[in-house]
Structure 1
Amino acid sequence: MRTEKGLVDRKGQNICKFPGEKTNKPKKNRKRNKKSPSVVQKLFETCQEVFATGGAGVVPSPEDVERLRSVLDSMKPEDVGLTEDMACFQMIDRETTPPIIYLHLYECNRFSIGIFCLPQSGVIPLHNHPGMTVFSKLLFGSMHIKSYDWVTDVSDNGKENLNPSPYQSPGKGFRLAKTKNDSVFTAQSNTSILYPAAGGNMHCFTAVTPCAVLDVLGPPYSDDCTYYRDFPYASLSGDAGLEPEGGRAAYSWLEEREKPEDFVVLGAMYKGPKIVEK
């Protein structure tokens, strides 16, 4: 999901107040902290190595994927200075879709690190990640994730990658996709990973409870993000006799759309442990 730069105030809106941000620590404590790099610093340095030769469509090696996943799996809210009682996780107006708060940690031309803070019922609508490998770790709370991969071709008997004729698009702008995930994730869940052409490259986040998700993207978002509406396969397919492999419930038609008007992302200054470039 691309964050609109015009909405991100990296100079610091006080939307998320971090614990102890006005507290002046003794100099000796600051000196001692430098001896042990923060978990955020470890994450940053791992990303530097994993995405050293990154670019659009470039997927890290399986070993590097697991190395970065391992770091993310170990991360907790306190590692980035978050607590569940912060204002950015509270729903102010229950009559409207709550805004999403984005905390920017780091970005270069090879990767980015950021945190999305969602109040209960907050939604990041269905969108794609063209050419990217994306790691998402839920730090706390519970979140429903619905994700899809494109079906390139299917055959008369439902086998993919053969003759697509029985499953022609129901209209211009529609394309067949297969469900990758449709479940609720919690902080105990492992980091989810999607790839440029697999793993659920189109996904939607819905906050079941207030939650925070840490995202690592390689490379960072560009301007070619696309949003979609999804429709159950059966609702737009006229021939009920055609049954795709895995059942019709496993497939949906996706239609391209404009960015939803009620989807608002506001920026707040990240005030957790700092990242030091070496």
Structure 2
Amino acid sequence: MDTIGPADVGLKVENSEDGRGHGFFGLNRFNRVARWAQPITYVDIYECDSFTMCIFCLPSSSVIPLHDHPGMTVLSKVLYGSMHVKAFDWVEPTRIQISNGPVRLAKLVADKVVTPESGTSILYPKTGGNLHCFTAVTSCAVLDILAPPYSEAAGRKCTYYSDRPYSITSRENETEISGDGKGEEYAWLAELGTPADLCMRQGTYTGPTIQV
């Protein structure tokens, strides 16, 4: 994946700062939205029982909220622009707190800005940042390969979360955390429904045929 660029998947590099996040995949002048609406565009490239290959195009400042990939391995690469990634892994054994509503303890594993030069990142079912949030620093696109794909029937449902700082929510379990990490390296995660302000629209893939 490190060698894949925008042109390899039908993206026009000269439009990478379009800002609307949906101008590259066959969305014509009749279904473009006003610039301020700025939805995130999701494009399926290929899907089978083993994996899904897709692209997310994010206009500047848009956010894909914190979510998980249960039982999945995910490869991601930024194709253009820059994106901030904040990622967690669950702390094992599981730590649950219910005093302020049920929350589960997670450890921060990434809090950084990534660009095409960052190369391909890989997350695994239990390591590498299985729960992550994307924020577009500039207009950007990210290529994802999810293996296996999401499937509610198989127990791989996408769940969204909010993160609460460990240091101000509760310190009662601090002595149970192994290692010498500080409180800011941890967070309590609470399950959410699908965020009401998450605006995604389907694009049409117009790039080259993928050989699998």
Question: Structure 2-normalised TM-score?
Answer: 0.83
Work out whether residues 145 and 183 of structure 1, in 8 Å CA contact, stay in contact via their aligned partners in 2.
yes
Tell me which residue corresponds to 1:78: 7
Work out whether residues 170 and 237 of structure 1, in 8 Å CA contact, stay in contact via their aligned partners in 2.
no
Amino acid at match of 1:236: T
Tell me which residue corresponds to 1:198: 127
Q: Which has the higher strand share?
A: 2
Gap regions ≥5 residues in structure 1: 1-71, 155-163
* Aligned CA-pair RMSD: 2.4
Residue 242 of structure 1, CA deviation: 5.3
Tell me which residue corresponds to 2:23: none
Q: Does 1:146 align with 2:86?
A: yes
Residue 71 of structure 2, aligned match among 109, 112, 131? 131
Inter-CA distance 188–218: structure 2 relative to 1 (3 Å threshold): same
Give the stretch that moved more between structures: 240-249 or 77-86. 240-249
Inter-CA distance 178–85: structure 2 relative to 1 (3 Å threshold): same
Work out whether residues 16 and 139 of structure 2, in 8 Å CA contact, stay in contact via their aligned partners in 1.
no
Residue 234 of structure 1, CA deviation: 1.1
Inter-CA distance 83–170: structure 2 relative to 1 (3 Å threshold): farther
Work out whether residues 77 and 143 of structure 2, in 8 Å CA contact, stay in contact via their aligned partners in 1.
yes
Q: Does 1:225 align with 2:154?
A: no
How many residues align structurally? 193
Q: Does 1:261 align with 2:196?
A: yes
Inter-CA distance 256–168: structure 2 relative to 1 (3 Å threshold): closer
Tell me which residue corresponds to 2:144: 215
Structure whose CA Rg is larger? 1
Give the whole-Å Cα distance in 1 for the aligned partners of 2:91 and 2:173: 19
Gap regions ≥5 residues in structure 2: 21-33
Tell me which residue corresponds to 2:31: none
Inter-CA distance 170–186: structure 2 relative to 1 (3 Å threshold): farther
Inter-CA distance 88–128: structure 2 relative to 1 (3 Å threshold): farther
Tell me which residue corresponds to 2:209: 274
Question: Structure 1-normalised TM-score?
Answer: 0.64
Inter-CA distance 217–240: structure 2 relative to 1 (3 Å threshold): closer
Q: Which has the higher helix share?
A: 1
Percentage of pairs with the same residue: 50
**Within-5 A mapping of 1:183-194:** 183-194=112-123
Give the stretch that moved more between structures: 104-113 or 81-90. 81-90
Residue 247 of structure 1, CA deviation: 0.3
Give the whole-Å Cα distance in 2 for the aligned partners of 1:105 and 1:188: 23
